[in-house]
Amino acid sequence: MDGREHYTFILISALLPLFGVAAAVVLLWNRLVGPADLIVFGIMYVIAGLGVSTGYHRLLAHRAFKTTRPLRIFFASAGAVAGQGPPVIWVAHHRRHHRVADKPGDPHSPYSDEEPGIKGALKGLWHAHMGWLFDRGLSSDPMRYCPDILRDKDMRFISKYFVWFVAGGVVLPGLLGLALTGTLFGAMTGALWGGFVRFFVANHITYAVNSIGHYFGRRRFATPDESRNVGWLALFSFGEAWHNNHHAFPRSASHGMRWYELDISALVIRSLEKLGLATNVIRIDRERQDQKAIAWEKLGGGRHARSNPDKPLALRSRTSAVGIVDVE
């Protein structure tokens, strides 16, 4: 997907779901929405949400756990269905974000322009939420940031045919609606609610983690960025909104670091581990959390704090007799 194709996809994916929401509102007004539509919406929301949170984010971008090839393909495919970009591009942007979070070079920081006042704040929030997606010049080199994903033939396949996975995210709920209602109208409203409306709601929840999650909320750790924990957003984002926790310990499989911080993705990973389907699960114990918190407090946090980010993954690789081996 080149620059023009990417821009065209972003434009269409921004407008079509919006029209879908408008159509859904009309149907709600005329009481033409049934339980089947809500069931289909729920099923697709969970599939796409776990695809992004558990698959794209924790499995691929941060390698917080390992799993079997079929499950890796399932989670990555579900992430593609969400429509936020091919796995190769999504992971490259996200790893770049962590290297320079809220500093020059961050793809989606709300502080990119540093314009003062309410106008500047609104512009920054819009940029972090969705505006950055329309930047024709934005590029995060996958060879630099995610060579491990590029070496994975399954991820290359999903990335190459990404648009077809997105289309499947509309066709599948239509088929579910047909199966539940036995009518063509049920298929159409299933595609509407499980496809377009789900696309709009789920993706704006993810975008809110980028915008709201770097502007409003609480900071447990004085990280060298502006990441924040946003409790009310955590349920809808499958745990992603414990964002300050995540920036403090990016490789942790769990973003909720207290018993009361609900993290659905972490629960899914834990369940897979108990079934023997997830291994090498990264955990951060309380002692290490407390030690890091004290160290950061001494240095001072926020976007103006000095940071020493890790080198991109491509520069942390070494060649062995059997190929390229990542060291981290």
Q: How confident is the model at residue 29 (pLDDT cuts 50, 70, 90)?
A: low
Q: Of all helices (H) and strands (E), which one includes residue 129?
A: helix 117-129
Question: What are the pLDDT digits (tens) for 234-284?
Answer: 999 999 999 999 999 999 999 999 999 999 999 999 999 999 999 999 999
The boundaries of the domain holding residue 305 are 3-326
Confidence (pLDDT) at 318: 46
Confidence (pLDDT) at 19: 73
Task: Look at residues 217, 237, 71, 220 and name the one whose alpha carbon lies nearest to residue 154.
Answer: 71
Does 94 or 324 have the greater pLDDT score?
Answer: 94
**pLDDT over 80 at 307, yes or no:** no
- CA–CA gap between residue 245 and residue 310 (Å, rounded): 18
- Total number of domains constituting the chain: 1
Whose tokens are 């407090």? That residue is 297
Adjacent-strand bridge partners of 189: none
Lowest model confidence (mean pLDDT) among 4-18, 137-151, 264-278: 4-18
Cα-Cα-Cα-Cα torsion 277, 283, 285, 289, nearest 10 degrees, comes to -160
Lowest model confidence (mean pLDDT) among 1-5, 165-169, 251-255: 1-5
